[in-house]
Amino acid sequence: MRENCRITGKEGEDLRVMKVKSIRNISIKTKLLFLGGVSILGLVFIGAESIITARQINEASTEISQSWVPAIIIAEELNTETSDYRIKEFYHAITHDQETMDHLEKEMMAVRDEIDAAFTEYEQFYITDETDRTLMENARAYWDKYLEYSDRLLPVSRGNDNQESLKMIIGESRLLFDEASSNFLKMAEFNRLGAEAASVRGDQLYVRLARVKIVSICLIALVITLLVIYIIIAIDKPVKAIVEGTRRVSNGDLDVYLPYDSEDEIGILTDSVNQLIERLKNIIDDEKYLFREIGSENFEVKSTCEQAYRGDFAPILYSIASLMSRLDIAKQKKEELKKRLEEQVAAEVLAEKKLKEEKTLAEEGKKLAEEKTPAEDKKTPDADQAGEETKKDGSRTMDASDEEGRLS
């Protein structure tokens, strides 16, 4: 009985400590904080990824608008201006008017300055890599060669040697111009391809951002959903078990054990309910044992589970002990009264027996007196007197017995 009333909560706790702590053993507060943390981290991740990707898209857009497009424009302007220079040079070769030649030469010098400024601007602001630099340097080298040849062609043209100047223009000058123009076109194509690549990269970044957002939202929603479902199940199932268990206990069924084992608040509550049920069961079994012994008039019996009568249960044990004490006193009084009654009854029986004997003797004496002679009849008064004295002695004996019984 004593072994049954021992609460083995500490042993169960020691066994739980030996287990690896899992999410089930985490407190409900921590679980909810974890759920909120996952949600916040998910939002932070989506926001950070959106900001980073948007910045990259903006950089790609900025690169297109501030680098590639201006570089394309400059490359095409270089090609256009060199063509303008070529056209003016051709007019210079075929004209015979000195004034026109002077005017064309001024315009050609202005075009040269614009081309030099364009080269300088391109070199300072729009070169992206070594390939671009190589293309620019090649284009400038061929343009410089073309200008050197142009410087030799202009004096010939100014001397009105139209055949020689035309021969030079359609000859080596054309080859040098084609090489320079080809390099300008390569520069423009290079920058166009760069702009397209930047645009494609921006599109890819946008697609990646959309995919990352979709995947992140789905994953975070899935994780949050699983956590919510888990927390609901982790709380709802044991709470229902506790409600059902306490309902059975309230109906008088103490053969209840809640199997939920965890270190969270529900687990602690379940363990407390199990301990309470165990204590109630031990107390009731102990009371059955005590009352059974009391019914057998064993008023010296002791509780086999005194440690279960803690707190508000202690008065129960005190009441039972007080009841046993009063019953023990009543038993002692009963036995004492019984003994006195037995003595009184014995005294009364003895007195009655003595009275009967005296009565019998008196009757026998009377018969003997009636059978005697008249002479003896004279003595009858004496005999009668003796009988009366005997009766009086018997009465006095009974009175003494009654008085003794009352005193006892």
pLDDT at position 385 is: 52
Query: How many CB atoms are closer than 10 A to CB 295?
Result: 8
CB neighbour class for 328 (10 Å; exposed up to 12, middle 13-18, buried from 19)? middle
pLDDT at position 124 is: 84
| Topology classification of domain 23-234 | Four Helix Bundle (Hemerythrin (Met), subunit A) (1.20.120)
Residues 139, 260: Cα–Cα separation, whole Å = 83
Residues 46, 209: Cα–Cα separation, whole Å = 9
Nearest CA-CA partner of 87 in 185, 175, 169 = 169
Residues 303, 309: Cα–Cα separation, whole Å = 10
Q: Which residue has the tokens 């995947």?
A: 215
pLDDT at position 23 is: 64
Residues of the chain with pLDDT under 50: 1-20, 375, 378-380, 383, 386-387, 389-408
Residues 185, 76: Cα–Cα separation, whole Å = 7
DSSP letters spanning 175-214: HHHHHHHHHHHHHHHHHHHHHHHHHHHHHHHHHHHHHHHH
pLDDT at position 266 is: 80
pLDDT at position 350 is: 85
Q: What's the pLDDT tens digit per position in 12-27?
A: 444 444 443 566 677 7
pLDDT at position 22 is: 62
DSSP annotation of 307? G
